[in-house]
Chain A
């Protein structure tokens, strides 16, 4: 095993990885609705008409129902696993405009990861596909997925097991570079390979 691929995982990212593995990568036959994210789900607080009336000093004459307009806020910012897995090893493959072809110049990047996966079947990788900012969000999400899948196929051809790799996409939602010129666009058309 190539020692340069050993990365000690911090406790925080271990926790994050465990959660990510628990939540993601379901088979198509598994009902997704049974999986709950670690987010506090709040039950509606029952309104006690007598207490409310006592508070306002008003007499109770009508049953209290929830106002039609009310929206309850859910705040995920407190979740422990938010933010990127900063300590994970990362490699990037860049793509030409409107293309999903893994160019020869990135073959070494892909080969290195494929070898590490072939050598250790417990090892897992996630490939995150991205696009530049041009075009619609959903269509770009699908384009980013195609890029990630192209890298996944290359990894499989070079020895990775299919259960070791998940391809996902951020479309244009997570640009690496800001700007509306070709230089920024080129840096955003990419697939990132991350250890899990």
Chain B
């Protein structure tokens, strides 16, 4: 049965998600020229490691990668001045070797061609299923060493795909590749939310003909209902310590906020209004909650200091502001604002109050911050198709994921995860 289900998922009954493709607009940031050599023996492994990390670095818009003709690996003696002369600031080379137990040893070195010195030298031992992850972690390490910034290449994104009348919850690498199906259903799925350790997803499923919150373990596929009270149960959000979920319940007839232990149990009510209160999201320090309420007329973003503070309004420009997501440092709120008839992604600086529009599309939905706080993924509509987009905070570097034959929506960017062993 396990094999049958897995085989079913591998067959192209699920639309293949194409890679996120980059679109750089406006004046590009300075791009660091990086020479990338094919890793020795990588063609003997299931994953072309150097191509994955090269594509990651290119897609960030921060690097321009150069080909390397010579056959190099991490043990080669390199004449770095040659590469500097060809215009490279840095060089990476490596190898992929199969171990006796079936795992792979991925090794690489990063050199500074300008200073003529070695910057990084590493070995990663992984199972075949984690080769892509190893390539993404190497890209993260190169990016950090050369820019001082933490990248998110080794993170994952969850999103919903609708094909005809079928819905599936997909997990892909942050580049859009390596799609795996977590759930397939004949009824709608919305609001996926990653647990802080990246091992579980909470989501809303309509498989019982109403909105119910479920929690599913990604690795095992085990799932359970978390909230199935009277009416609609939705908008799950994990606390930073992973022990509690906030959510929207309508037990008294109107959408209000509650918390529940992640292991299940009795809900505790958080808001008491005669309005719609929904879309909770915890601040990164776990001490307050942002949410959407229309207690003032139209939906706006509010903040509530836990456990029982009076909600304070946060958004004041525009009459319809929804779907908040908060950066990892707690300083920036991103959300969807309606302007005229258009729904657009905006950010609100919580310290200065400055509001910035990020997109020039007009059907944006469900933004989610990357865990480094520097990128946003969101759903949008381009030329009649539902697509996913990522954007830098200044809106200048965007990537687009289009899945032909399917509508993609409801993205949720997963957390950083520590390397195993």
Q: Which residues of A contact B (CB under 8 A)?
A: 19-20, 23-29, 31-37, 39-45, 52-53, 56, 58-62, 65-77, 79, 82-85, 126, 128, 134-139, 141-146, 148-149, 152, 166-171, 173-174
Contacts and interface: CB of A to CB of B under 8 A. Distances in A.
Contact of B278 (A29, A59, A142): A142
**Chain A CB within 10 Å, residue with most, of B6, B208, B229:** B208
Contacts of A60: 101
Contact of B208 (A24, A40, A53): A24
Determine the main DSSP class of A at the interface with B.
Answer: loop
A26 B207 contact: no
Interface stretch (B52-60, B140-148, B209-217, B368-376): B209-217
Interface of B: 1-2, 5-6, 8-9, 99-103, 126-130, 132-133, 166, 171, 178, 180-188, 190-191, 206-211, 216, 218-235, 248, 250-251, 253-255, 263-267, 276, 278-279, 292, 294, 299, 320, 322-323, 336, 338, 341, 343, 365-366, 410, 417, 420
Contacts of A148: 231
A168 B183 contact: no
B5 A73 contact: yes
A168 to B, nearest CB: 4
A25 B233 CA distance: 11
15 contacts: A28-B229, A33-B224, A42-B2, A66-B219, A70-B218, A74-B184, A76-B184, A76-B186, A134-B341, A138-B234, A138-B235, A141-B190, A142-B248, A169-B231, A170-B206
Contact of A136 (B219, B255, B366): B366
Given A35-B225, A76-B186, A141 B265 contact: no
Contacts of B230: 25-28, 166
A79 B205 CA distance: 14
Nearest to B183: A74
Contacts of B1: 40, 42
Contacts of A145: 231-232, 250, 254-255
Given A43-B220, A71-B218, 20 more contacts: A23-B225, A37-B225, A40-B1, A42-B2, A42-B5, A71-B219, A74-B5, A76-B183, A76-B187, A83-B186, A135-B322, A135-B338, A137-B191, A138-B323, A142-B248, A142-B276, A145-B232, A149-B250, A168-B231, A169-B211
A103 to B, nearest CB: 20
A13 to B, nearest CB: 12
B2 A45 contact: yes
A138 B278 contact: yes
A41 B207 CA distance: 15
A28 B251 contact: yes
A42 B276 CA distance: 37
**Chain B CB within 10 Å, residue with most, of A36, A45, A65, A70:** A70
Given A42-B221, A137-B190, A32 B276 contact: no
